[in-house]
Structure 1
Amino acid sequence: MTDTNANTDTDTSTETNTIDIDSRVSSTDRDPLAVDEVAALTTRIIDNVERVIVGHRNAAEDILITMLARGHLLLEDVPGVGKTMLARSIATSLECSFNRVQFTPDLLPPDVTGVNVFDQQQQVFEFQPGPVFANVVLGDEINRAPPKTQAALLEVMAEQQVTVDGETHPVPDPFTVIATQNDIEPTQTYDLPVAEVDRFTKQIQLGYPNEAEETELLGRVAGHHPIESLEAVATVEDVNRARETVAATTVSESVRSYVAQLAGYTRDNARLGVSPRGAIALVRVAQARAVFEGRDFVIPDDIHAEIHPTWSHRIQTADTVDSAHVVDNALDEVPIE
């Protein structure tokens, strides 16, 4: 089931864009933007997204922070609240290549990653890229596909490459997966493997708009949908240079130690605590948060602002304990030094 309200994309087909899968530039060849330039860039992008999306500025910010932190994002919510349209609006605002994959029970791994096809004229196998070869990949209702198909994303989400028949193919840079998950039909969906959940940097929910926001939304889409006239306000190169700015943001030893102690607390007080990958993800999104705030260094407040959407989905607890409660306890018990 795809989102069907005015904030959402009702096209259920797989979208593909032509892209040179061998065109990658080393990060060492890019000049980072100044911190104030990144702050201005992100404001411009979010303002542009709000021409289409009503009432989800924080969610747009979460997606941008995830992209600048070189990560991926999981959107879990009921159908029809604008998950698909939000992803499209971000990609359009960034002038990024964008592919959408509708996950279904009969979807196969090659439908996602690509496949080698035999060329009878040339008598050779040629790789036909799948929809993961784009800057922004939307996996719509990812939990409708069986685990085998979901697992097709494991390599590309972790390593930004796809291996088919022993040959490795890099995906475009930047690369971000935004996946949506239906959380109201458990008997018709599959659980995401723990390894895949851990690859999602952040997990967020959108929620329903309030009355004023929904009234504004209905007015905007009474005629043509605003996504049809949305234009890019940033380039792929802008994103990559902003990523370099984020990567260069200072994380002091005391902040790194604080994150390590928080992670240790979750491992000691949950059935499954935060992995080292989760700790790295928190540091990276805190770096992006600092740049959003106009700083070139991370402070504990950045950790506090990002810890729940970055860690809560990674923690597994007893049925009577909420994972968010474990995170809250960690913040209460671990001192800031």
Structure 2
Amino acid sequence: MSLFSNSSETPLPPLPNPVPAAPALQQPAATRTPENPQHAMQLAQRMRERFSQGLVGQEQLRESLILTLIAGGHILIESVPGLAKTTAARLLASCVSGTFKRVQCTPDLMPADLIGTQVFDFASQKMITQIGPVHANIVLLDEINRSSAKTQSAMLEAMAEGATTIGGERISLPQPFMVIATQNPIEEEGTYTLPEAQMDRFMMKTIMTYPSSQQEVAMLSLLGNQSSDTMNFERDETQSITLSDVAYLRSAARSVHVSEDVKKYVVDIVSTSRGAGTRPIKGLSSLVRLGASPRASISLLRVAQAQALISGRDYVIPEDVKSHVHDVLRHRILLTFEALADGITADQVIDTIVSTVPVP
């Protein structure tokens, strides 16, 4: 049985006048209207053009950020210092004309420093609520693994619930809301490793690498044309979209049609990581101690829908699933100590899974 229901099996509700009612089994408007995917492509291209103004190379990171935003998830970025993680996050916020907050995580960072707290106002003789930096459209948690487990839990709760509770008052987070967390893989002193269950809350994990020599020269040329090394993140009307456009993209992505065969393909990939699937991999248990959860299936499907949408299609194909399968699964597949000792990576295991699972 598939984990997802086919949207084409549910009749549409009557549409308001003067638009005539749609046939009962017709696809939703976002998939029926051919200009919608084209409009989504245009919006995504405007975001890419905005990124090109301040970020040289890093196409994989750019696409992962755009897809995560459209799919309604959060992303974890792993890289060494100095690869423009903060610049990419600020560029994304300026692309969508949203608010941006950066939190530098440290061991003494408290949950109240993130979500907010209540303070006594002497003028009114009442307690007033001061919201924290998490109340923004795009929140960058720099070096999240330097914050304590208590602070990490507070942030991840806000990610899951879409709201915070301050002094018994529930405050909804602004929409769209997206967390971009970073961690440094080379410094372990003074860090608190993210638990596997909390890592699973991130829709994607992308790994940034050093730019090529040509890209680094292009970066220097870009800086040479500016009066300052600090980029201007002011909104550009010609290369930015609005928060309403983001809401449209998210709604349209959810309406992208996914066939039963593609759904089974998604589940087969995730199940194979757990030692099951239609073609179980012999000896996988000696490499993987814990496979991906059903949440991975949901994330993989949502990312595939977003990929199809910005590719100008109203339906998902297997290539959409495979395009970002590493980003979706690499932090959800836990390797055995023997595999780690042999230098085997999660990406290598994913490559084996993708090559083994039959493509519909």
TM-score, length of structure 1 as denominator length: 0.86
2:346 matches 1:323: yes
Match of 2:235 among 225, 231, 235: 231
Distance 1:49 1:110 in 2: 33
Please say which structure displays the higher CA radius of gyration.
2
2:283 matches 1:279: no
Partner of 1:71: 73
Distance 2:353 2:168 in 1: 43
After alignment, is 288-297 or 262-271 more displaced?
A: 262-271
SS where residue 184 of structure 1 aligns? Answer: coil
- Pairing 1:178-327 to 2, within 5 Å after superposition: 178-222=180-224, 223-225=227-229, 227-228=231-232, 230-232=234-236, 233-268=240-275, 269=285, 270-319=288-337, 320=339, 321-327=344-350
| Contact 1:51–1:226 (8 Å) recurs in 2 | no
Alpha-carbon deviation of 1:124? Answer: 3.5
SS where residue 296 of structure 1 aligns? Answer: coil
Distance 1:141 1:125 in 2: 33
Distance 1:225 1:235 in 2: 27
Partner of 2:169: 167
Amino acid at match of 1:243: R
SS where residue 301 of structure 1 aligns? Answer: helix
Alpha-carbon deviation of 1:322? Answer: 2.3
| CA 178–229 in structure 1, closer or farther in 2 if over 3 Å, else same | closer
Q: Deviations over 1:268-293 (max 9, x none)?
A: 24212111211111100000010121
Partner of 1:80: 82
| Contact 2:91–2:233 (8 Å) recurs in 1 | no
SS where residue 313 of structure 2 aligns? Answer: coil
Q: Deviations over 1:172-216 (max 9, x none)?
A: 110000011111101232201222211111111221121121112
Amino acid at match of 1:35: P
Alpha-carbon deviation of 1:117? Answer: 2.2
- Pairing 1:13-92 to 2, within 5 Å after superposition: 34-92=36-94
Alpha-carbon deviation of 1:70? Answer: 0.2
SS where residue 278 of structure 1 aligns? Answer: helix
Alpha-carbon deviation of 1:333? Answer: 2.6
| CA 229–154 in structure 1, closer or farther in 2 if over 3 Å, else same | closer
Partner of 2:150: 148
2:115 matches 1:113: yes
Distance 1:259 1:161 in 2: 30
Alpha-carbon deviation of 1:325? Answer: 2.6
SS where residue 57 of structure 2 aligns? Answer: coil
Distance 1:283 1:43 in 2: 22
Amino acid at match of 2:300: L
TM-score, length of structure 2 as denominator length: 0.81
| Contact 2:107–2:190 (8 Å) recurs in 1 | no
% same residue: 40
Alpha-carbon deviation of 1:163? Answer: 2.1
After alignment, is 320-329 or 202-211 more displaced?
A: 320-329
Distance 2:122 2:289 in 1: 54
Alpha-carbon deviation of 1:136? Answer: 0.3
Alpha-carbon deviation of 1:34? Answer: 1.1
Equivalent residues, number: 307
Q: Deviations over 1:215-265 (max 9, x none)?
A: 121122233246216533111111111111111111112211121122111
SS where residue 174 of structure 2 aligns? Answer: coil
Amino acid at match of 2:357: V
| CA 97–333 in structure 1, closer or farther in 2 if over 3 Å, else same | same
Amino acid at match of 2:256: T
After alignment, is 325-334 or 130-139 more displaced?
A: 325-334
| Contact 1:154–1:195 (8 Å) recurs in 2 | no
Amino acid at match of 2:267: A
